[in-house]
Amino acid sequence: MPAKTNDPNKKTWLTVSENSDFPIQNIPFGVFLTRDDIITIGTRIGDYAIDLGALHQLGYFDGIPLTDDIFLQDTLNDFISDGKKTWRSVRNRISEIFDLKNGTLQNNKDHKKIVLFSMEEVEMKLPVQIGDYTDFYSSKEHATNVGSMFRDPENALLPNWLHLPVAYHGRSSTIVPNATPVRRPLGQTYPKGADAPVFGPSKLVDFELEMAFITTDANVLGEPIPIEEAEDYIFGLVLFNDWSARDIQKWEYVPLGPFLAKNFASSISPWIVTLDALEPFRVQSPKQDPEPLPYLRQQGKHSFDITLEVDLTPNNGIPTMVTRSNFKHMYWTMAQQMAHHTVNGCKVNSGDMMGSGTISGPSPDSYGSLLELAWQGTKPVKLRDGSERKFIEDNDIVTLRGYCQKEGIRIGFGEASTRLLPALEHKKK
């Protein structure tokens, strides 16, 4: 069954402001706590949160094979497990229910009272229980910038980089939704000029502008996912800020890669925007040279034109947009990442999350981290209040935004906005 939800002429009977990330063509999925303290799975149109559990109980999904409690859960994992056909049927039905021409719910005051909430009334939760989290390193510009800074501008990319999507296994226990504050981590560093490592709060906390995709159950142990099928197992995407402590990272990462510098927190936007909603925004990904090995080759358009922006807001201050990048700059596509991830038979489950890696564009104002924007502290970023940043300061708020826009339709992700709290007090030893 094809998705029928992308028609740009479709209008809804709900009020949606012109620049909303959530027109009736979006229909993302999330989990929220209602004003009555009930947790439910929902969607969003304009500034309305829509309780899918209530809609289902009232019979609005009749004819679609769904278990009774599929939306009365605190995670989307079971719904995602139902597969692409079910996601499409449900989105198509939601699109019908809220179509301007459909009076069924529109004219039922009692039902509307049960189903609709304003966004201010609900508290967004983590949308999935993330079993496994993998973070790729798939932006050529980012890998080149970091390689130039830390190693050698002449050989910025390591020999494997153009042949496979490099990644590491992260930690899912510290992934938090929008608006959950994050604490500056304590850790071990080896400052320049010191003759021994020291312990204390990280001095070089940074954001990483990324997106992440959420998967469904994709394969059995031992069986790879062919690249042509990989996108069928991608439920949708969120914005992803992979908080990083650069000083801890620099000292600890040899030889096995990032550890405590990356797993203290990562923030995501709470609404998962489906791959179907992003369909009109497909674009060609960058040309790959050398041509990858056959299991990573693909034809057609497999990237998406998603504008990405980051605001930095000092405590009680005004926001400054510090970068604007685009998801389409990614050298390796999500399908290539999935095909590579499973080529050895690694099993992918419903609710797994794969980070893209920092998404830097080609120009210095499109870099995806402060490390690059301020070029290791040598070119501090000027904020609108006159202050400067080399890295994130205590109580700064970092806000990621993302949206696609074409022919009058905007499909957005909302935001992943996070305050960095000061480090916990620690006793020097």
Contacting residues for 73 by C-beta, under 8 A, at least 6 apart: 31, 39, 41, 79
Can residue 396 be called a binding residue for Ca ion (CB under 5 A)? no
Residue of this chain nearest to Ca ion (CB atom): 242
Rounded to a whole number of angstroms, the minimum distance from the CB of residue 257 to Ca ion is 11
Rounded to a whole number of angstroms, the minimum distance from the CB of residue 330 to Ca ion is 13
The answer to whether 346 touches 360, Cβ cutoff 8 Å, is no
Q: Which is nearer to Ca ion, 135 or 276 (CB)?
A: 135
Rounded to a whole number of angstroms, the minimum distance from the CB of residue 242 to Ca ion is 4
Q: Determine if the peptide bond prior to 255 is cis (ω within 30°).
A: yes
Size of residue set near Ca ion by CB under 5 A: 3
Q: Which is nearer to Ca ion, 134 or 285 (CB)?
A: 134
Q: Which is nearer to Ca ion, 13 or 253 (CB)?
A: 253
Rounded to a whole number of angstroms, the minimum distance from the CB of residue 206 to Ca ion is 10
Can residue 372 be called a binding residue for Ca ion (CB under 5 A)? no
| 203-204-209-215 Cα dihedral, nearest 10 degrees | -70
Q: At 149, is the secondary structure helix, strand, or coil?
A: helix
Q: Which is nearer to Ca ion, 139 or 336 (CB)?
A: 139
Footprint (CB under 5 A) of Ca ion, residues 170-209: 208
Q: What is the CA radius of gyration of the chain?
A: 22
Query: Strand locations in 356-396, DSSP E?
Result: 381-382, 388-389
In this structure, is the dihedral angle defined by the CA atoms of residues 8, 331, 370 and 205, taken in order, positive or negative?
positive
Contacting residues for 254 by C-beta, under 8 A, at least 6 apart: none
Catalytic residues: 142
Q: Which is nearer to Ca ion, 48 or 413 (CB)?
A: 413
Can residue 135 be called a binding residue for Ca ion (CB under 5 A)? yes
CB under 5 A: which stretch of 10-18, 81-89, 129-137, 418-426 binds Ca ion? Answer: 129-137
Residue in 51, 132, 242, 252 binding Ca ion, rule: CB under 5 A: 242
How are beta strands 175-177 and 266-268 bridged, if at all? parallel
Q: Which is nearer to Ca ion, 82 or 135 (CB)?
A: 135
CB under 5 A: which stretch of 3-11, 234-242, 300-308, 327-335 binds Ca ion? Answer: 234-242
Contacting residues for 60 by C-beta, under 8 A, at least 6 apart: 93, 97, 104, 105
Tokens of 283: 């674009």
Rounded to a whole number of angstroms, the minimum distance from the CB of residue 210 to Ca ion is 6
For the beta carbon of residue 251, count every other beta carbon within 10 angstroms: 17
The answer to whether 67 touches 57, Cβ cutoff 8 Å, is no
Contacting residues for 115 by C-beta, under 8 A, at least 6 apart: 50, 51, 54, 55, 58, 105
Give the x-and-dash track for 19-58 against Ca ion (CB under 5 A): ----------------------------------------
Q: Which is nearer to Ca ion, 50 or 146 (CB)?
A: 146
| Residue 56: its H or E element | helix 52-57
Rounded to a whole number of angstroms, the minimum distance from the CB of residue 325 to Ca ion is 14
Rounded to a whole number of angstroms, the minimum distance from the CB of residue 377 to Ca ion is 20
How far from 272 is each of 42, 82, 125, 245, CA to CA, in Å? Answer: 11, 16, 12, 27
Residues interacting with Ca ion, by CB under 5 A? 135, 208, 242
